[in-house]
Amino acid sequence: MNEEIIRVENLTFEYPDTAVLKNVNFTLYKGDFLGIIGANGAGKSTLIKLILGLLPYDAGRITLFGTELSRVRSRIGYVSQKANSFNSDFPATVLEVVRANLFSSKGLFRRYTKEDNARAEHALALVGMTEYKDKLIGSLSGGQQQRVFIARALVSEPELLLMDEPTVGIDAASVREIMSIIKKLNSGGITMIMTNHDTPALLDAADKLLIFCEHGYEEFVNRSDLSLERVSSILAGKRVHKHG
């Protein structure tokens, strides 16, 4: 049987006075691509933060690689909406930014080696950014910066990659390039969890969907069972039979 990567059981989280997630359940296996769809404020980014341990959940359970997060942190990569919030005057090269994520394999106090630089360059090659390795990160376009941040997540060779709106604020051509890179990484065996405001792009890439509906419940379905029109009606609050 395919290796189980993440199991989310009855996950519940609320901000003061507002329930954001209530009894969320899903399981992903190696090579799955989960697209999380829903309106702003529906809890998509919150779910990503709960999986990463950036927020404590109120009830339920998240199991990663059959164990708890702290034991498998190095097997998980994360790409956030950095292209929008990034400080463009920060004096760092692309290589320095990507290399920064090698801490889990280096530990405290140890200096970077030629092998570390080679690993960072390999990660940059995966996103087609090798030639920019010595450029200042702030001198790149938003799309190029986001490809660098994907490389940064890839440098530690993660088996599960979480992406929170990685294409927000980026031009259409760059979005197509980034989605193509992400699909290629997924076909190479990396399990993906991704939120994206661009529903058609996500439907094109994902094979499983977690849809947060307007009326406060969620649906976990196989992508092949749904058309874009059907997804729109679910988003509007009409239930479907659950799969997977």
Yes or no: say if 128 and 65 are a contact pair by the CB < 8 Å rule: no
Residues binding another protein: number (CB under 8 A): 31
Shortest spacing between CB 30 and another protein, in angstroms: 21
The tokens for 236 are 């509007």
Near another protein in 145-204, by CB under 8 A: 152, 156
CA distance 233 to 235: 5
* For another protein, the closer CB: 79 or 231: 79
* For another protein, the closer CB: 134 or 229: 134
The tokens for 177 are 């390039």
Taking contact as CB under 8 A, which single stretch among the options 78-86, 124-132, 180-188, 203-211 is the one that binds another protein? Answer: 78-86
* For another protein, the closer CB: 122 or 176: 122
Shortest spacing between CB 240 and another protein, in angstroms: 34
* For another protein, the closer CB: 136 or 203: 136
Query: x/- string (CB under 8 A) for another protein, residues 88-127?
Result: -xxxxx--xx-xxxxxx-x-xxxxx---------------
Sheet holding 160-164, edge to edge: 76-79, 160-164, 191-195, 33-38, 208-212, 218-222
Q: Which residues, 6 or more positions from 23, have their beta carbon under 8 angstroms from its beta carbon? A: 10, 11, 12, 60
Report the residue from 6, 37, 42, 80 that binds another protein according to the rule CB under 8 A. Answer: 80
CA distance 163 to 65: 18
Report the residue from 44, 82, 147, 208 that binds another protein according to the rule CB under 8 A. Answer: 82
* For another protein, the closer CB: 141 or 222: 141
Return the exposure string of 119-135: e unless at least 16 CB atoms fall within 10 Å of the residue's CB, then b.
Answer: bbbebbebbebbebbee
Residue 52: is it exposed, middle or buried by C-beta count within 10 angstroms (0-12/13-18/19+)?
Answer: middle
Which residue, chain included where needed, has tokens 């998980």?
Answer: 76
- Residues at the site binding another protein, with contacts judged by CB under 8 A: 52, 54, 73-74, 76, 78, 80, 82, 89-93, 96-97, 99-104, 106, 108-112, 134, 136, 152, 156
